[in-house]
Structure 1
Amino acid sequence: MASSFIIPSNLCSSIFSSRIRFPANLISGGNNNLRAVKRRRSKIVARSLDLPLLPFSMSEVLVPTESKKLHLYEARYLALLEESMKRKKNMFVHFILDPISISEKATEASFAARYGCLVLIENVERLEIGALVSIRGAGRVKISRFLGADPYLSGEVRPIQDRINYESSNEITSKISKLKDSIKNLNSLEIKLKAPEDSPLQTRLFNSLNWAEDEPPVECDESFFPSLQERLSFAAFQPVSGSTQSELSRLQQEKLKAMDMKDTIERLELSMGLIKENISSIAAKLAIQSLDIL
């Protein structure tokens, strides 16, 4: 995103003094009536929220509709969790700290806060050490003001949403219909790959698609919740079964592009290209799998 704020270098070292741990096994309706959409969008008045901020590296971009599980165990991050649950309607902001160069003479690293994603806490499992937290990306945000760093980062955030072009409604509807069909086809292929017997029959792609089609949570401020079309345009940016490291790296780059885009049609086209590549990849793996069986 073009806009970001700079976090002072003396705060960056404390932010990353110890890492948030991710368990290895966990790293892993476009036909709405146009008038109804217009009524919904006309009610939106961009405002701001003061929320806790949780930083991540550039390799861990989170997009709307995506789910993630975090193992939070440091006191400051557990304090962030309690604040989010008790006073922030189960919300905080997942954002990326991007190393930048202030000047050629700079001797210390500086960081820009980019790619903010408002997240909803879906589930918390208390552990002997810390908590396992399930989160879901809800919508993009701009961090407009840094508010504090003790005991955790906090800031003022504003919503970022796609530009609305009602004249393109029919084109968007058509592209969304094709995208949904392609995701369902890919899901059918994924579940045929060799996997443990207790593996779910719904992939992360299909779960994101289902979540995108749900109504916005009651407690979620409407101005921070993207339109149905925008939510669906993000659903494809999920890892597929058996992804290689190079495929996961490529996905991160596609997610960065998707977060920067302000046009739903452009993002839908990027999504379709990614899904087609994944279908070809899974089909090839299934062909190899069938040879092994024979």
Structure 2
Amino acid sequence: MTSTLISSILSSYISPTENLGRVRIPSTSYFGSSSNVRAGKRHRFKIVAKSLDLPLLPFSMSEVLVPTESKTLHLYEARYLALLDESMKRKKNMFVHFILDPISISEKATEASFAARYGCLVLIENIERLDIGALVSIRGAGRVKISRFLGADPYLSGEVRPIQDRLSYESSNEITTRISQLKESIKNLNSLEIKLKAPEDSPLQTRLFNSLNWAEDEPPVECDESFFPSLQERLSFVAFQPVSGSTQSEVSRLQQEKLKAMDMKDTVERLELSMGLIKENISSIAAKLAIQSLDIR
């Protein structure tokens, strides 16, 4: 595909939120009631591939998805429903969530320029068919790089390659220690979150704790092993989830931390960033609980 054709095609995707419709907060359980795709633990077999050809779904810079994170999309446009059908029937319930980033260009330029950033392989976990479109629950599995675009009719598709952290035997003990600390802190934060005032039907398991459970589970059999990060790398992404009662400034801060986490290539470095975020969230939730207790009195 020529660069001119690619730019022309991508320009039609520049408002992904408008195109995709509303994005809903997902259920904290990935065992849904409609047409659940994922079916628990199964025997693993080794699949290794250097690249995959997959459908691509573009989003704005404010909607980056990290591994272990879940969200629910309302898909209703014909091209996105076609992408969904392709992913279900021929792509092992997978597609790629990526950020379509407009690049600043000079006033003399005759065509728009875009960069495909922060690719994340996603697994479709649940689909609820609606009168108009479908609600699709997805889960980030691992980072990918889009090597090249392959097509755009009726939806974008491309060749993607896995991105994983550098491995270092010298840091294995440090990683083990940091992960233990992180998991304990996440459990503490989860306990604080469920104490906050919330609707009666709110689940006791938060999005953060749900992502932790998913990260510790066995990789799903559909996922190519070379595209699925190590347990340590998966756990290093768990902290980058919104917490109860987040303010707009806290949501914006989380967004910046997610971008940093996606750029990092060192698990220890990301675990350090994760711990800092968890500690801030614990302090914030504790303060809100203190205010809540004063209101009750």
User: One fold, TM greater than 0.5?
Assistant: yes
Look up the SS of the partner of 1:152 in the other structure.
Answer: coil
Look up the SS of the partner of 1:96 in the other structure.
Answer: strand
CA shift for structure 1 position 44: 8.1
Within 5 Å, give how 1:19-168 maps onto structure 2.
Answer: 19-23=19-23, 47-103=50-106, 105-168=108-171
1:8 maps to what in 2?
A: 6
1:223 equivalenced with 2:226 (yes/no): yes
Larger mean Cα displacement after TM superposition, 228-237 or 11-20: 11-20
Distance 1:6 1:245, change over 3 A: farther
| Counterparts of 1:177 and 1:151, CA distance in 2 | 46
CA shift for structure 1 position 281: 0.4
1:212·1:228 contact (CA, 8 Å) conserved in 2? yes
1:188 partner letter: S
- Residues 178-214 of structure 1 show CA distances to partners (whole Å, capped at 9, x for unaligned) of 0000000000000000001111001000000000000
1:55·1:96 contact (CA, 8 Å) conserved in 2? yes
CA shift for structure 1 position 16: 3.7
2:47·2:224 contact (CA, 8 Å) conserved in 1? no
1:176 equivalenced with 2:174 (yes/no): no
| Counterparts of 1:223 and 1:104, CA distance in 2 | 43
Structure 2 segments unaligned to the other structure (5+ residues): 29-43
CA shift for structure 1 position 9: 2.6
| Counterparts of 1:137 and 1:26, CA distance in 2 | 13
Extract structure 1 runs of 4+ deviating beyond 4 A. 23-28, 43-46
Look up the SS of the partner of 2:63 in the other structure.
Answer: coil
2:204 maps to what in 1?
A: 201
Larger mean Cα displacement after TM superposition, 97-106 or 195-204: 97-106
2:164·2:229 contact (CA, 8 Å) conserved in 1? yes
Look up the SS of the partner of 1:257 in the other structure.
Answer: helix
| Counterparts of 1:168 and 1:197, CA distance in 2 | 44
| Counterparts of 2:108 and 2:254, CA distance in 1 | 34
| Counterparts of 1:275 and 1:6, CA distance in 2 | 44
2:26·2:70 contact (CA, 8 Å) conserved in 1? no
| Counterparts of 1:62 and 1:26, CA distance in 2 | 13
CA shift for structure 1 position 152: 0.1
Distance 1:44 1:131, change over 3 A: closer
2:239 maps to what in 1?
A: 236
Identity, % of aligned positions? 87
The TM-score normalised by the length of structure 2 is: 0.89
Q: How large is the Cα RMSD of the aligned pairs?
A: 2.1
2:165·2:233 contact (CA, 8 Å) conserved in 1? yes
CA shift for structure 1 position 48: 0.3
| Counterparts of 1:51 and 1:24, CA distance in 2 | 24
Look up the SS of the partner of 2:61 in the other structure.
Answer: coil
The TM-score normalised by the length of structure 1 is: 0.90
Structure 1 segments unaligned to the other structure (5+ residues): 29-39
Distance 1:128 1:186, change over 3 A: same
CA shift for structure 1 position 70: 0.2
1:263 equivalenced with 2:266 (yes/no): yes
The alignment covers a number of residue pairs equal to: 277
| Counterparts of 2:60 and 2:160, CA distance in 1 | 19
CA shift for structure 1 position 80: 0.1
| Counterparts of 1:135 and 1:27, CA distance in 2 | 11
Distance 1:220 1:24, change over 3 A: closer
| Counterparts of 1:268 and 1:146, CA distance in 2 | 33
1:20 partner letter: L
2:56·2:95 contact (CA, 8 Å) conserved in 1? yes
Larger mean Cα displacement after TM superposition, 43-52 or 178-187: 43-52
| Counterparts of 2:146 and 2:283, CA distance in 1 | 38
1:6·1:110 contact (CA, 8 Å) conserved in 2? no
1:292 partner letter: D
